Amino acid sequence: MALLLASLLSSVMAVRYYNHAGFISAMPVGSDARSRWRDAGIAYLRRAGILYSWGLRHLVLVAPILASIVHPPGRPIQRCMPTTIEPSPKGPEASGSAPHLVRPCKSD
């Protein structure tokens, strides 16, 4: 329930910040009001993006938990679902490196 609440709160706050940024970007180009609010609009867009990504991550993390509650025989499968996303162990310099999913159980 805490993950669902965190997802909801993050998503609601992201929508709030996107709404504020929309008002700022809808001001006439070159107006004094838009130039005064430009820095706030940039900050609002950045915060909205971060909050949206947090909300989506919480929602992705809660989906396997909810599936195991609804369908108990699926609990072993739920434990093997991806839980986190980490950067590639080779580092960003390596060619073709991309984030990979970390799975708590191995299928060797």
* Per-residue model confidence as pLDDT tens digits over 44-97: 999 999 999 988 888 888 777 777 777 766 666 666 665 555 555 555 554 444
C-alpha 34/C-alpha 32 separation (Å) is 5
Greater pLDDT, 61 or 21 = 21
- Sorted by sequence, the CB contacts under 8 Å of residue 81 that are 6+ apart come out as 64, 103
Closest CA to 43 of 19, 26, 21, 23: 21
For the record, the structure tokens of 85 come out as: 């996303």
User: What pTM, to 2 d.p., does this model score?
Assistant: 0.57
- Sorted by sequence, the CB contacts under 8 Å of residue 56 that are 6+ apart come out as 7
